Chain A
Amino acid sequence: MQPEDGPQAETTLLRARDDVWLLDRPAGPTTVVLAGSRGKYLRVPVKAWEFLQELSGAPAGMTVPEARRRHPGLRLAWLAEHGLVDLVPAQGLRSPTALTLALWRRNCVYRLRQSVGGWRDIRQAMERGPVPGGREPVCRPLFFDRVETAARLSFALPGTSRQCTVVALAVADTLRRHGYAGRVAVLGEHDQVFLHAVARVGPHVLDPGMSLPQLREFAPPDPRRGA
């Protein structure tokens, strides 16, 4: 890590972690939080608790100057050191190779399935909805960014498809396998030519950003399914 990557750098981004549990109503000058990644309880000042509470409601995270302005005197390095926040340095973070390979494999599988079954997978995924018991974090965990980056990297590997439907299915599948309530959603309005399929977890949208939208299908109504 370069010297400018630390929590003191202006270009560093702070992101909330979804495995940190905060006590609802702190009483007294300090309160207890559970850092799931470390598997331990920590006693933090209420000031830090307020910061974590605010950060968990900010899907885009918070910049260091913003955090300093809104919560002066906060020890960001200490919070990061104890696994209570994620730090994203200016040059970003590497996405795990295993995740990239997993998304590559699923992309190939769904590409094949789409070439055989067409829209069937998407329809089933949309009708199925989120997986019961899957996690729907309030904050946007950094893992979602890693999945998006892994999906982008997987486009460079042979055999993958960039169709948004295939990408969304692969991403949603990966999310479900990691315990999140991932589902497929199709964005679009009545006057748009393009429809765009993305993966969603609660309010969070996962879209690798390099996929191609699907052209709207003007198919005649199926008499077996009603008007």
Chain B
Amino acid sequence: MPDVSSGEPPSPAETTDHTAWDMARANGAPRPDRVSVSDYLHFPLAPSDPDRGMLDGVPRLRPDGVAHGGRHVRHSFHPGRRFRLDAAVDCLDQHVREAVRAAVRGATRVGVLATGGLDSSVVAAVAAEVTGRPPLLVSIRGGLCGDLESELQDDLASELDGDHLILDDIPPFTLDPLFRLNRGCDLPRGGVFSHVWDQACALAADAGADVLLTGEGGDELFGAGPALAADLLAGGRLFAAAAVLGRGRRSDDAGYVSGLVRQLSSRAFLPALTQPTGAEMALRWRGTYAADAPAATARRTAQLARLRGVGLSAAAAVRAVWLERPDLHAAADSEARISCRWPLAESQALADCVDAIPPSSFAPVRAGCQDKHLLRLVARRRLPARITEQRKVGVVNQISVLLRGIERLPHRDRLTAAAAWLGVTLDDAFWRPSVLPAELGLDWTRLLALCAWADNADDRR
């Protein structure tokens, strides 16, 4: 296995005294935990046991200081009175401010990854408000975003009157950042986007920023997931529940009733898997862990039932689990040049505040309301409508741009040993992700990160 550590500064994960790998080595040869690895591949949002690590016999080591705001903060917007949306928006506004303030504490220059979307725009606007000066905006282009997104990024920069750095030359795909990110790491991190993210971090660090914020977490907190339908159903709002649930129907038009039954039986957190061809390809990639899919479904159901048993709704349960695992969804700077934070994903108090809002007001299917409606209301107070209300239409298939030159990869063999250790098959389909639907690229990313993480096994065996 080639040594990728020469001449590179240690990553934050490396500075930890006792990693999961060290503990596994102390207990003998490290082995993958089949249940956790299977959960990671199949249902990363809701593992069957959040305390279980990815190595056999080693519990998960939790990073310190990620979540803030305390647990079990109970909000109530309607103590015996009618629910008032403006009071809820005030509360959300305050918690978003607190989350951003906690993320930028001690920083002298704040950078924000501006994608042109709502989440990062809100974070940038609030960061400007909290710090008293416009943040440094970093945008990644080069075919990874459409013309509309580029215009929105420019609009945000002119609105906030801040410096705008644009990464137009997408670096060729390389595995180095993935290996750096995953060295000694408790859980797999990063993915197919890591090399681009590394470049953006370098750009921001060179410009003097010491913290880089993203809007990661906005979709999970404010987007209407399938769990919302169950809450609406429990609240007696049948038509609203059907309207939310209706979007999860099968793509082959198998019919409403069968789609409904499927949704209710699987609880449908991954609509991508409802596509038969997509599911088939995904299962092939998952290699030996594919056989665990039904068992993993049962484990996830049990986990959700346990979380609901302590008084959390399904949506809140997913949020609670997800918030403990932000490292699965966003890369970090592999060379530790800059601190990367996700304010919307890191605040438990914000998640609790969102959870206290009645489902019918959470994602209303009404004219003038779009996805992530509550966050949009927070944004309307600070940003012009052309940023907060702009519809983004169309599908940008980023995977094909990210993987330009994948056939000429000089270090393709570096994954082979790790994949063999995991028991994952790297067949031809694994190396041709660009011909597959965009959402399945995420599966490929997950597997890539897992292999990079498993590369540690060779050093520590």
Closest A residue to B388 using CB positions: A63
Tell me the complex Cα distance, A201–B160, Å: 32
Total interface residues on B, CB under 8 Å, equals 49
B367 in the interface, Cβ–Cβ < 8 Å? yes
Beyond A159-B256, A193-B436, is A66–B385 a contact (Cβ under 8 Å)?
yes
A residues in contact with B26, CB < 8 Å = none
Within 8 A of B (CB), among A104-146: 111, 142, 145-146
Pair B86/A11 contact, Cβ less than 8 Å: yes
Q: What is A's interface to B at a CB cutoff of 8 Å? A: 2, 4, 9-11, 13, 15, 58-63, 65-66, 88-95, 111, 142, 145-146, 148-149, 152-153, 155-156, 158-163, 187-188, 191-194, 196, 198, 205, 207, 209-210, 212-213, 215
With both chains docked as a complex, state the minimum distance between the C-beta of B219 and any C-beta of chain A, in angstroms. Answer: 14
A146 CB, min distance to chain B CBs, angstroms: 4
Question: Could you tell me if A163 and B366 are in contact, using CB atoms closer than 8 angstroms?
Answer: no
- Mark interface residues in B430-447 (1 if CB within 8 Å of A CB, else 0): 000011111000000000
Closest 4 CB pairs of A and B: A92-B366, A88-B368, A92-B369, A60-B389
Complex Cα distance A218/B26, Å?
55
A145 surroundings in chain B (CB, below 8 A): 367-368
Q: When the two chains form their complex, are residues B385 and A13 in contact, meaning their CB atoms are under 8 A apart?
A: yes
Distance between Cα atoms of A65 and B366 in the complex (Å) = 23
Q: Which of B367-408 contact A (CB under 8 A)?
A: 367-371, 373, 377, 380-386, 388-391, 393-397, 400-401
Q: How far is the CB of B32 from chain A (nearest CB, A)?
A: 32
- How far in angstroms is the closest Cβ of chain A from B348? 25
- Decide if B413 is an interface residue (CB 8 Å cutoff): no
Instruction: State whether A158 and B256 are in contact (beta carbons under 8 Å apart), knowing that A90-B377, A152-B243 are contacts in the complex.
Output: yes
A/B interface sample: 30 pairs, CB < 8 A: A2-B86, A11-B86, A11-B381, A61-B385, A63-B385, A65-B382, A66-B384, A91-B85, A92-B367, A92-B369, A93-B368, A142-B367, A142-B368, A149-B369, A152-B243, A153-B365, A156-B246, A158-B256, A160-B256, A161-B253, A162-B249, A193-B435, A193-B436, A193-B438, A194-B437, A196-B395, A207-B391, A209-B370, A209-B371, A215-B437
- Complex CA gap A68/B369 in Å reads 22
Q: How far is the CA of A4 from the CA of B436 in the complex (A)?
A: 47
Tell me if A192 and B395 are in contact (CB < 8 A): yes
Compute how far the CA of A49 lies from the CA of B380 in the bound complex, rounded to whole angstroms. 24
Shortest CB-to-CB span from B293 to chain A, Å, is 23
Determine the chain B residues whose CB is within 8 A of the CB of A209 once the complex forms.
370-371, 391
Question: Please, how many angstroms separate the alpha-carbon atoms of A116 and B369 in the complex?
Answer: 35
Q: Which of A60, A62, A90 contacts B85 (CB 8 A)?
A: A90
Considering only residues 58-104 of chain B, those with a C-beta below 8 Å from chain A are: 84-86, 89
Question: B245: nearest residue on chain A (CB-CB)?
Answer: A156
B242 within 8 A of A: yes
- Would A13 and B365 count as touching, CB distance under 8 A? no
* Closest chain B CB from A56 CB (angstroms): 13
Q: Are B368 and A60 in contact, with the CB atoms below 8 A?
A: no
| B367/A163 in contact, CB under 8 A | no
| A158 partner residues in chain B, CB cutoff 8 A | 256-257
- Contact B391–A205 (Cβ < 8 Å): yes
Q: Which residues of B contact A205 (CB under 8 A)?
A: 391, 393
Assess the A2–B84 pair: CB atoms within 8 A.
Answer: yes
B85:A149 contact, CB within 8 angstroms: no
Docked CA distance A209–B92 (Å)? 25
Q: Quick check: is B288 within 8 A (CB to CB) of the other chain? A: no
Residue of B nearest to A195 (CB): B395
Q: Which chain B residue lies CB-closest to A149?
A: B367
- State whether A194 touches B438 (Cβ < 8 A): yes
**A212 neighbours in B (Cβ, 8 Å):** 251
Q: Are A155 and B246 in contact (CB under 8 A)?
A: yes
Specify which chain A residues have a CB less than 8 angstroms from the CB of B383 in the assembled complex.
63
Asked whether A9 and B86 contact (CB < 8 A) given A93-B366, A194-B438, the answer is yes
**A11 and B365 contact, CB distance less than 8 A:** no
Q: Is the pair A60, B367 in contact by a Cβ cutoff of 8 Å? A: no
Contact B246 A13 (CB under 8 A): no
Q: Whole-angstrom distance from the CB of A16 to the nearest CB of chain B? A: 11
B239 within 8 A of A: yes
Q: Would you call B256 and A191 a contact (CB within 8 A)?
A: no
**In the complex, A188→B400 CA distance in Å?**
14
C-alpha gap A198/B393 in the complex (Å): 9
> In the complex, how many angstroms separate the beta carbon of A8 from the nearest chain B beta carbon?
11
Smallest CB–CB gap between B403 and chain A, Å?
Answer: 11
A207–B393 CB distance below 8 A: yes
Asked whether B247 is an interface residue with its Cβ less than 8 Å from the other chain, the reply is yes
Name B422-458 residues within 8 Å CB distance of A: 434-438
> What residue in chain A is nearest B394 (Cβ atoms)?
A187
Q: Is the CB of A152 within 8 A of B365?
A: yes
Task: Indicate which residue in A15, A66, A149, A198 contacts B365 across the interface (CB closer than 8 Å).
Answer: A149
